[in-house]
């Protein structure tokens, strides 16, 4: 059974999500709008993590200040291949969310105060729930097709809300996929799915893993990995 991520609360930096990565050789910090994500090697103690945080506190604080979630208001748009979102002004005194496959429209009351933190949290939850529903429809069939095409069977697939990673594969061949994947273009969705399918045969990122992934991506595995860095697991 996979261990759940551990969350440390820091008065200055906020939540830090600690993820044990079997392949990690050192601590890796990634700052996002909702938390700081820390990948650590197996056996890393809480004291070692705390010491690293304190040593990097100034840098982490600077990164945290730069990462701010965009305000979701009438000017906010998502326009991707598999998901489109728009907010429009309505006449009623309450919010109405209309969602269907690949598209969401939120009708907002004229008096909406988009600076309100509780409203922003609600909007994020509504949008992310729509992403989850879309991901459950779009991703599993695509994974199944690629699995059969490349003869890389897996046991099961789960859709989650991961912000620290696009996907993962357990030693039991259970593949986890972040619902934020539906915000990616098709070729990068396929790259992530193929990446995790390759882990059903090669659990590390050694030469054989990259050779296998390259054989499925026309030799562009590393190029696609770099392109993926331009996208974030958040709205």
* Residues 51 and 91 both lie in one domain: no
- Residue 138: give its domain's CATH number: 3.30.2010.10
Six-digit token string for 199: 């882990």
Q: Are 178 and 197 a contacting pair, CB within 8 Å?
A: no
- Residue 235 lies inside a defined structural domain of this protein: no
- To the question of pTM greater than 0.95 for the whole model, the response is no
pLDDT tens digits, 125-165: 999 999 999 999 999 999 999 999 999 999 999 999 987 78
Q: Which residue has the tokens 């046991």?
A: 155
Per-residue confidence (pLDDT) for residue 192, from 0 to 100: 98
Q: Are 208 and 202 a contacting pair, CB within 8 Å?
A: yes
Residues 6+ positions from 28 with CB-CB distance below 8 Å: 21, 38, 39
* Residues 210 and 224 both lie in one domain: yes
How would residue 117 be classed by pLDDT, with cut points 50, 70 and 90?
A: confident
Residue 149 belongs to domain spanning = 134-228
Per-residue confidence (pLDDT) for residue 3, from 0 to 100: 61
CA 153, CA 144: separation in Å to the nearest integer?
8
């Amino acid at each position: 059974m996979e261990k759940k991520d551990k969350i440390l609360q820091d008065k200055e930096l906020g939540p830090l999500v600690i993820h044990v990565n079997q392949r990690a050789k050192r601590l890796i910090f990634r700052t996002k709008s909702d938390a700081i994500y820390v990948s650590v090697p197996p056996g890393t103690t809480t004291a070692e993590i705390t010491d690293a945080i304190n040593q990097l506190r100034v840098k982490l604080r600077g990164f945290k200040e730069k990462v701010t979630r965009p305000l979701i208001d009438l000017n906010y748009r998502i326009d991707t291949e598999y998901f489109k979102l728009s907010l429009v002004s309505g006449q009623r005194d309450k919010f109405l969310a209309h969602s269907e496959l690949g598209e969401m429209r939120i009708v907002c009351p004229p008096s909406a105060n988009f600076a309100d933190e509780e409203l922003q949290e609600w909007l994020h939850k509504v949008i992310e729930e729509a992403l989850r529903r879309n991901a459950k429809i779009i991703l599993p069939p695509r994974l199944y097709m690629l699995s059969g095409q490349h003869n890389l069977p897996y046991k099961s697939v789960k859709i989650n809300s991961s912000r620290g990673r696009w996907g993962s594969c357990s030693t039991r061949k259970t593949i986890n996929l972040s619902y934020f994947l539906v915000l990616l273009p098709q070729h990068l969705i396929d790259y992530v799915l193929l990446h995790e399918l390759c882990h059903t045969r090669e659990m590390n990122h050694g030469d054989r893993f990259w050779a296998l992934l390259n054989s499925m991506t026309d030799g562009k595995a590393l190029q696609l990995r770099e392109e993926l860095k331009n996208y974030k697991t958040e709205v």
